[in-house]
Amino acid sequence: MQNETTAVVPAPKPNLTWTSLKKTFRLFRYVKPYWGEFALGMVFLLISSLAGLAFPRLLGDLVDPKSMGDLLHGLNKAGLMLVTVLVAQAIFSFFRTVLFVNVSEKTLAALRQHVYSHMIKLPMRFFLERRVGELTSRISSDITLLQDTFTTTLAEFIRQMIIVIGGVVILLITSWQLTAFMLAILPIMMVAAVFFGKFIRRFSKQVQTQVAAANTVVEETLQGIINVKAFANEQFEIARYRQRTNEAARIGMKSGKFRGAFSSFIILGIFGALVSVIWRGVSMGIGTPQLLSFILYSVFIGGSIAGLAEIYTSLQKSIGATENLMEILDEPEEAITPVTHIAPADQLDGQISFRNISFHYPSRPDLTILKDVSFDVDEDQKVALVGPSGAGKSTIVSLLLRLYDPIDGRVLYDGKPGTSIQLSVLRSQMAVVPQDVFLFGGTIRENIAYGKPDATEDEIEAAARKANAWEFIRNFPLGLETIVGERGIQLSGGQRQRIAIARAVLKNPRILILDEATSALDSESERLVQDALDKLMEGRTSIVIAHRLSTIRQADKIIVLDKGQIVEQGTHTELIGVDGGLYRMLSEMQFSH
């Protein structure tokens, strides 16, 4: 199965239009700081391309030293000129490449950083509408594509244009009749060869897909050989394999015919065209040396025209990539600012009110998730949200974190509307201990310090102790430096939760949000987690999404949700006494197990 996060989504190939070109020009904003280097690179490119243009002419002279007076002297002179041109071209090409690579590396690093820092500040709504794979490929493959454009494609484009225009001018001066004859046939053949080549490559891709499909049959059946045998399905699998391999062979043979045609085309078309030009030149009485440089120019021009066809495709792709990036950059960011200090006026006491909140997710406007939800949480209270799956508990938490804004109604913090408090200031005073604890691939220390990046060693240790995590961390040979995540050790569910608790302890939030883990921990682990949570909840407002009702008996208030509405509110004792109440029913169901 394809992994969502690594799937590369190719950029669509748009047509070259004025608006898309205008978007591409916005890229040059990133090149601006390196304009000097870029311009110098351009100059070198011009010189080396022009030098390259002198090459066929000089080769002609080398064959025909007579044109330069004394035979030996002329030969040496032509040879020397050629060597000079070659060396100059080599030197200029070197500097041109280095300059262009420098400019594009710096430009694209800046672009990458800009896109990423913009992307991560976009509102949740944006992430609901896109797949992670799509976004990662925007930042990885699209920008890599642009890198190629800046380092090679652009330079190639200019070089090829100089060769085509300069070459044609030189040829016209030599003989306009022969030039017209050559231009009428050779470039067309070259461009046809490029498209023919592409067409054939499509076939090899199809063959590869079929071969891969056939290999899947082998792999699956050998891995699950017991199933094949137990079902006596050998014949069925043989038929499946035969069908796929035959299909691969069929496409392969079809492509073989085109390959054959391609070779014939090259022989007849391109070499034929060259022969015709030579024949025509000789019959026009043009001398061998001139004819040689004429043919060389023609080959150069033909090659460059074919190259331009490739460049066009690659520019098209880059323009597509740029459009995608610009689209992301045009999305409005959330108002996220670095929070270094919270002014006393902005410090929350921890009182929360939901006032007539109605909500639907931006991606599903037809599906109302919360309907007229109102409740209050007092400072330092512990409030539990309970209700069947899908009732809207996590949605309430998302609104509290202002990941989304309600469609109707208001969320108030200490009586002030959320919209009047700076988003970063608000979020920096809340912490979440989620159900699925997300650990970054790094050390335990880094993962705990995520709650407060500038935490000291002592603070980290104290947080780990308070979270009942110190004991197990100390027992790892590397302690806090133990690597966790994909390439490190795997922590148990309870251990991960305690790391998340330590994070929250470090953050020391006014409002704590707990999403209880649904999967059961073993009783010892559960006791340690619960004890750490109880300590963490002390002295702050806590909202707990509870799945196991046994943990919330002491809550100051229990809010029971069903289908996006509050159906009951009260303490455990009050709610358990409601005949036919949802809370009572849910607890009876849980305790009867």
Q: Please state whether beta strands 382-386 and 430-433 pair in parallel, antiparallel, or not at all (unpaired).
A: unpaired
Binding mask 113-142 for ligand ATP (x = CB under 6 A): ---------------x--------------
For 107, 163, 390, 545, the CA distances from 41, given in Å and listed in that order, are: 15, 18, 60, 61
Helix (H), strand (E) at residue 314: helix 288-330
The full 3-state SS of 397-445, as one line of letters, equals HHHHCCCCCCCEEEEEECCEEHHHCCHHHHHCCEEEECCCCCCCCEEHH
Output the CA–CA distances (angstroms, integers) from residue 215 to 172, 209, 212, 223, 250, in the order listed.
57, 10, 5, 12, 16
Integer Rg of the chain from CA = 36
394 binds ligand ATP (CB under 6 A): yes
Among 147, 179, 293, 395, binds ligand ATP (CB under 6 A): 395
Spatial contact of 123 and 13, defined as CB atoms under 8 Å apart: no
Min CB(593)–ligand ATP separation in Å: 17
Q: Which is nearer to ligand ATP, 128 or 261 (CB)?
A: 128
- Closest distance to ligand ATP from the beta carbon of 128 (Å): 5
**Among 588, 591, 582, 534, which residue's Cα sits nearest to residue 558?**
582
Q: Which of 278, 306, 391, 582 binds ligand ATP (CB under 6 A)?
A: 391
How far CA 114 is from CA of 117, 136, 330, 356, in Å, comes to 5, 14, 12, 39
Give the shortest CB-394-to-ligand ATP separation in angstroms. 3
Q: How many helices (H) and strands (E) does the chain have?
A: 22, 12
Nearest to ligand ATP of 423, 586 (CB atom): 586
Helix, strand, or coil here: 545? strand
Contact stretch for ligand ATP (CB under 6 A) within 45-53, 236-244, 390-398, 447-455? 390-398
- Kindly tell me which of 64 and 516 has the beta carbon lying closer to ligand ATP: 516
Say how far apart CA 85 and CA 47 lie, in whole Å.
Answer: 10
Q: What's the min distance (Å) between Cβ of 504 and ligand ATP?
A: 19
Question: Closest CB to ligand ATP among 44 and 359?
Answer: 359
**Interface with ligand ATP (CB under 6 A), residue from 363, 374, 456, 590:** 363
Phi-psi region of 483 (alpha: psi -120 to 50; beta: other; left: phi over 0): beta
Whole-angstrom distance, CA of residue 329 vs CA of residue 434: 30
Interface with ligand ATP, residue 573, by CB under 6 A: no
Shortest distance (Å) from residue 545 CB to ligand ATP: 6
Q: Does 401 sit near ligand ATP (CB under 6 A)? A: no
Instruction: Single out the segment in contact with ligand ATP by CB under 6 A; choices: 16-24, 174-182, 247-255, 358-366.
Output: 358-366
Confirm or reject binding of residue 514 to ligand ATP (CB under 6 A). no
Q: How many residues bind ligand ATP (CB under 6 A)?
A: 13
Q: How far is the CB of 357 from ligand ATP (least distance, A)?
A: 12
Is residue 389 near ligand ATP by the rule CB under 6 A? yes
| d(C-alpha 235, C-alpha 216), whole Å | 17
Nearer of residues 36 and 390 to ligand ATP, judged by Cβ? 390
- Is 281 near ligand ATP (CB under 6 A)? no
Quick one: which of 181, 265, 361, 476 contacts ligand ATP (CB under 6 A)?
361
The residue ranges that bind ligand ATP (CB under 6 A) are: 128, 361, 363-364, 369, 387, 389-395
